[in-house]
Amino acid sequence: MFVLVNLKAYPSDPVEIATVARDVADESGVRIAVSPQAADIGRVAETGVETWAQHVSPVEHGSHTGSTLAEAVADAGAVGTLLNHSERRLRLADIDGALDAADRAGLETIVCANNPDQIGAAAALGPDGVAVEPPALIGGDVSVSQADPGIVENAVAAAAAVDDSVDVLCGAGISAGEDLAAAGDLGASGVLLASGVAKADDPRAALTDLVEPLA
């Protein structure tokens, strides 16, 4: 199982959380990555934790003011990137372009989507993984794997029907070990979470509890 912690733009200390994530990953043997703001990628990567960007733009080098260049985040230390998060939606053509950009820079990719139908469409574009995140559950206290397990099962089936090499993660409301265990039971290869760690009073305790079923 892969645990990807998205720090969004929360007022958290990215280096502190990255250090905790690195240590919990080393202690548990679970693959854990952190996705900070673009400006913090270098500092987070220096901790030794697996580091992901939150977004890259569908552009090459050139006149693209305000864009996030895939090569720039890779040079800063990122090894992967999220795309099409519910808070950073892209048109289908731009998802495809961003995937090309990520591939050019050697970045692993996870494309987010709202439902199983969108998961199937995203998987057809050839990312390394997809993540199903019903918007209504994002940032809440109830995980998608508990609230509506059928969405996760159907997302796994939708991706497999298109390309069974594409990993499926689930997100929205993930915060505890039972959520991670339930996601795995439903066929997911990992989880995408944010506030459960980024806003936790004790990020180490939150991550340790999350991966406990896998340790």
pLDDT digits (tens, 9 = 90+) for 93-136: 999 999 999 999 999 999 999 999 999 999 999 999 999 987 66
What is the CATH number that goes with domain 2-214? 3.20.20.70
Q: Is the dihedral of CA 78, 81, 85, 90 positive or negative?
A: positive
Instruction: Judge whether residue 68 has pLDDT over 80.
Output: yes
Percent share of the chain, pLDDT over 70:
94
The reply to whether 212 belongs to the active site is no
Q: Residue 193: its pLDDT value, please?
A: 92
Instruction: Judge whether residue 30 has pLDDT over 60.
Output: yes
Q: Residue 112: its pLDDT value, please?
A: 96
6 is in an annotated binding site: yes
199 is in an annotated binding site: no
The reply to whether 85 belongs to the active site is yes
Q: Residue 146: its pLDDT value, please?
A: 66
Q: Which two tokens stand for residue 153?
A: 């099962």
90 is in an annotated binding site: no
Q: Which of 4-13, 71-80, 163-172 has the lowest mean pLDDT?
A: 163-172
Out of 46, 108, 133, 178, pick the active-site residue: 133
Domain ranges of the chain: 2-214
7 is in an annotated binding site: yes
Out of 16, 46, 64, 85, pick the active-site residue: 85
What would the mean pLDDT of 17-40 be, rounded to a whole number? 97
169 is in an annotated binding site: no
Output the average pLDDT for the chain: 93
Instruction: Judge whether residue 140 has pLDDT over 60.
Output: no
Q: Tens of pLDDT along 142-199?
A: 566 666 788 889 999 999 999 999 999 998 777 788 888 888 998 999 999 998 999 9
Q: Residue 123: its pLDDT value, please?
A: 97
pTM: 0.94
